[in-house]
Structure 1
Amino acid sequence: MPRWARLAAVGAALTNVPSAIWRVAIALGVPVGLAQSEYEQMGAPGLGSLALVALSLISEVFAFLALGLVQSWGETWPRWIPWLGGREVPVMVGTTLAGVGALATTVFGALFVYTSFHSDMEATTWGIWLLNIVYAPLLLWGPLLGAVTVHYYRRRTEASQEPVLTSV
């Protein structure tokens, strides 16, 4: 496994950490530079905090799956998964899911940048800066996942092709 692929997968997995911490901070009522009306609109702290924490956990799980593209559990289903455990992960299943994820996260990152510059969010100057800093790594999620996905597909399809022996 090339070092760049492992680093890209780890990078993709870590791109969500800053924004997840930011959302959990909001859920806990930690001041992050937003106006009180923004906290109220999100219902945080309070019932809306559950949605913020759930979004953080779900995004972290999806980001973590990038590691499967460079680990053995991305080639063989883990034993604890019913009916699939121990079987080979079909190349096209892993590639398609990761490819759709790469496309979706790239679009999300681009849309976030666009909307953050056209937002009417009430926040302090430092709050807007903090928001942009913690969400900026998401711009890398899609491209990193895309690069690792292409490598996964090439590695898995090249490995499955047996060399053809020719006689001279």
Structure 2
Amino acid sequence: MQKQRIRHPEAPPPSPGTADAPGRFRAAWRSAHAPVPGVSRRTRLLAYAVPFTVLPASLWRLPAAFDVGIGIGERLYVVFLSLFSEAVAFTAIGLVARWGEVVPGWVPFVGGRRIPPAVVLAPAALGALALTLLWTALGTVTEVRGTTIRGDVLPADFPSRAGGWEAASYYVCYTPLVLWGPLLAVLTVAYGKRRLRAPHG
């Protein structure tokens, strides 16, 4: 039999925000990730995979913010780049979730309004194209050729040329980025098909 917890009569009541914080976080997390009707399981899993294609590179980059000899501006840039990359990657989930079709209610003035498909499809398609060109095509070609994006020879201290565990960790963390653009393209097409064939767009 489960014991019932009895509160002392003189004890102050629990703070309403403290006790509910974990529950609210879980509810917000589920709400942000819950797919709308009509999204297949495969499409949902592809959307959930996108942030994980970016996460290894974001984590790999962070220790550089604590290197000796770099300025505060460079430190902040490294941290910002990692956080910003993850935030952009997370928007892919909006292509399967309700907040990608209806503005969340907490947004001032426009909360609850339906989002026109073109408002989502245009940036998603451009993003998929840019990411595919940058990471999948150009990134692969430059890595094979051993050059930078501008065509210069990679410096000797570049992680992929260092050898050993440094090179291995670099490839393990950055290789998933080649999937970012193609996955986003698949999700964009699926989003367009679902929204454009819906009765109210």
In the alignment, what sits opposite 2:61? 23
Provide the rounded CA distance (Å) in 2 between the counterparts of 1:104 and 1:83: 32
Q: How does the TM-score come out when normalised to structure 1?
A: 0.81
- The answer as to 2:167 corresponding to 1:140 is no
Unaligned stretches of 5+ residues in structure 1: 30-38, 163-168
Q: Decide which of 36, 43, 65 is 1:5's aligned counterpart.
A: 43
Report % sequence identity.
Answer: 38
Q: Which amino acid aligns with 2:48?
A: V
Unaligned stretches of 5+ residues in structure 2: 1-38, 148-153
Q: Which amino acid aligns with 1:108?
A: L
* RMSD of Structure 2 on Structure 1 (CA): 2.0
In the alignment, what sits opposite 1:63? 89
CA deviation map 1:38-57 (0-9, x unaligned): x75xx37x431110110011
Which has the greater radius of gyration? 2
Secondary structure of the 2:197 match is: helix
Provide the rounded CA distance (Å) in 1 between the counterparts of 2:109 and 2:95: 21
**Greater relative contact order: 1 or 2 (C-alpha under 8 angstroms, separation 6 or more)?**
1
Please report how far the alpha carbon of residue 142 of structure 1 lies from its aligned counterpart in structure 2 after TM superposition. 0.4
Shift in alpha-carbon separation, 1:120–1:68, aligned structure 2, 3 A? same
In the alignment, what sits opposite 1:112? 139
In the alignment, what sits opposite 1:157? 196
**Number of residue pairs aligned between Structure 1 and Structure 2:** 150
In the alignment, what sits opposite 1:83? 109
